[in-house]
């Protein structure tokens, strides 16, 4: 998929948002027009208004363009809302029920395929990225992907009757911060990142 047009649109929205608004609403520290971003364990500054990332990603795998679009979308958001502590699934997001099957294929199934046999590994892999255990399922973990956007991954291991299963949950305030389609991309990227770290740990253990 060509994300170039979406990137240009997200950059324009970011540039139309003042640095004062970003400092007020994003939850990120701002110093001299530099926004200090922690994104899934990666540290960046985003310069305003240029939208330049430092260090500038050198390889697409380090911070794909769609991840930069998500970051710019979040930084341009001006909602004063806060987390409400209520879990909702993707199908409970506005219009989410229509796209639940693609969401399941892109995010939930890969999570189950990689972590389903040993759900406890999900917590271990997420910890270096700031993941905190959640008391859900056989293993659950919450990642603050953005300061106001937690994502909770839940797994149930297989037993004699049922195969492994899982879900990805959001805070009830989620619609205030990003459009529904962004949460599909976000959840998929979270799972992809966890899988990559998990594979690195497996290789180091051999």
Separation CA 111–CA 80 (nearest Å): 32
Q: In the listed set 46, 76, 106, which residue is the last one of a domain according to the structure?
A: 76
Q: In the listed set 42, 76, 110, which residue is the last one of a domain according to the structure?
A: 76
| Paired tokens of 168 | 């990805």
Separation CA 112–CA 157 (nearest Å): 9
Q: If pLDDT is split at 50, 70 and 90, which confidence band does 55 have?
A: confident
- Per DSSP, what are the bridge partners of residue 165? 156
**Does residue 106 sit in the same domain as residue 201?**
yes
Q: Residue 3's pLDDT is what?
A: 86
C-alpha separations of 56 from 15, 163, 206 in Å:
18, 42, 33
Q: If pLDDT is split at 50, 70 and 90, which confidence band does 101 have?
A: very high
Q: In the listed set 13, 44, 76, which residue is the last one of a domain according to the structure?
A: 76
| E strand map for the chain | 30-31, 34-39, 42-47, 53-54, 87-89, 132-133, 139-146, 149-156, 165-171
Query: pLDDT tens across 151-198, in order?
Result: 999 999 998 889 999 999 999 999 999 999 999 999 999 999 999 989
């Amino acid at each position: 998929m060509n994300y170039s047009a979406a990137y240009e649109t997200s950059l324009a929205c970011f540039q139309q948002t003042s640095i004062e608004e970003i400092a007020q609403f994003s939850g990120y520290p701002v110093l001299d027009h530099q926004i200090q971003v922690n994104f899934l364990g990666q540290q960046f500054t985003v310069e305003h208004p240029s939208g330049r990332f430092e260090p500038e990603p050198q390889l697409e795998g380090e911070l794909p363009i769609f991840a930069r679009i998500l970051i710019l979308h979040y930084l341009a958001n001006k909602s004063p809302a806060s987390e409400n502590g209520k879990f909702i699934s993707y199908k409970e997001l506005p219009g989410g029920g229509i796209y639940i099957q693609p969401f399941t294929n892109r995010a939930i199934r890969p999570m189950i395929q990689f972590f389903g046999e040993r759900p406890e590994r999900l917590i271990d892999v997420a910890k270096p990225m700031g993941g905190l255990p959640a008391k859900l399922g056989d293993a659950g973990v919450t990642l603050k992907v953005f300061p106001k956007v937690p994502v909770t991954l839940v797994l149930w291991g297989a037993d004699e009757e049922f195969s492994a299963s899982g879900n990805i949950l959001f805070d009830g305030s989620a619609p205030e911060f990003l459009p529904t389609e962004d949460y599909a991309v976000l959840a998929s990227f979270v799972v992809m990142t966890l899988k990559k770290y998990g594979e690195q740990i497996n290789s180091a253990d051999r």
